[in-house]
């Protein structure tokens, strides 16, 4: 198939290839790896407004930490964190909100509260009903390749166990499984977005290889989201704490755009909006 050209999300139309779109991260979680967790709904709304002013095209709201070895968050606690935030943010800004969750119940409530995109960090492996929900509601779904369940990366030691002889093959296989599941369930192809899952069950060296070979994912024909912001591949190269990884993130964003990324998921919207504009001028001629 040819690459998807347009995805509609409520009143918003994403024309892929025209420019890079920016997803601003809103973590309503006190234990976010990046140190940017938000404690109150009012703070989440203030950040949402600021991100939109700075150039965010999508706001990604999540309540459960995805740091390695973090404990699963009980359903009711995740609901308590994210649903009021989604509801109030959706009343405040006009850009689409995505809900970053692997829980079907949270996704249902979030869509009812005003979210318009599902962001599944397990690519339907943990909760296949998310595909059915996306099909029923006619909303886009982001399918991420997550290797934390396959033994390729020992998070306690940070060492590669050698499970994946080729990480791109593993990522492609994972994404193909998610895409097949979504399409079989009735999700239109234009409502599927893929994410290679930087930092999820890969070593930092494998993350760098994915960034270097990102264009190999374009053959699947779907828009590509990358989430490198402040992550451990930057820590391992620059030896800096999360709050000081803006320049490292900028490098990964620029290279990601050059290698085919359509959406970048970031903590530092103002700075990355400038990086995207400059990279798009070079790569896309806009």
Q: Which two tokens stand for residue 182?
A: 């979504």
Q: Which of 265, 270, 274, 277 is catalytic?
A: 265
Active site residue 231: yes
Helix 246-258 × helix 204-212 angle, to 10°: 40
Q: Which of 231, 245, 274, 284 is catalytic?
A: 231
Q: Can you tell me the distance from the alpha carbon of 139 to that of 133, in angstroms, rounded to the nearest whole number?
A: 8
- Residues in a beta bridge with 23: 58, 265
Residues annotated as catalytic (active site), given as ranges: 231, 265
């Amino acid at each position: 198939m040819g690459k998807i050209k347009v995805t509609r999300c409520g009143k918003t139309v994403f024309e892929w290839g025209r420019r890079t779109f920016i997803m601003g991260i809103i973590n309503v979680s006190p234990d976010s790896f990046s140190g940017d967790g938000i404690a109150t709904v009012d703070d989440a709304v203030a950040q949402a407004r600021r991100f939109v002013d700075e150039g965010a095209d999508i706001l990604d709201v999540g309540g459960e930490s995805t740091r390695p070895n973090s404990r699963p968050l009980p359903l009711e606690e995740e609901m308590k964190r994210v649903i009021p935030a989604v509801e109030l943010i959706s009343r405040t800004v006009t850009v689409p909100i995505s809900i970053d969750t692997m829980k079907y119940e949270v996704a249902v409530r979030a869509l009812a509260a005003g979210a318009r995109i599902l962001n599944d960090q397990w690519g339907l492996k943990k909760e296949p009903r998310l595909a059915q929900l996306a099909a029923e509601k006619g909303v886009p779904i982001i399918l991420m390749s997550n290797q934390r369940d396959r033994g390729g990366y020992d998070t306690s030691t940070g060492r590669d166990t050698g499970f994946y002889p080729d990480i791109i093959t593993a990522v492609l296989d994972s994404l193909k499984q998610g895409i097949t599941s979504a399409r079989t369930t009735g999700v239109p192809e234009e409502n599927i977005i893929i994410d290679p899952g930087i930092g999820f069950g890969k070593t930092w060296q494998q993350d760098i290889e994915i960034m270097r070979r990102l264009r190999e994912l374009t053959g699947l024909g779907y828009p590509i989201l990358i989430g490198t912001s402040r992550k451990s591949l930057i820590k391992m190269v620059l030896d800096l704490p999360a709050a000081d990884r803006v320049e490292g993130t900028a490098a990964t964003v620029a290279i990601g755009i050059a290698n085919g990324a359509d959406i970048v998921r970031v903590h530092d919207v103002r700075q990355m909006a400038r990086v995207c504009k400059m990279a798009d001028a070079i790569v896309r001629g806009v």
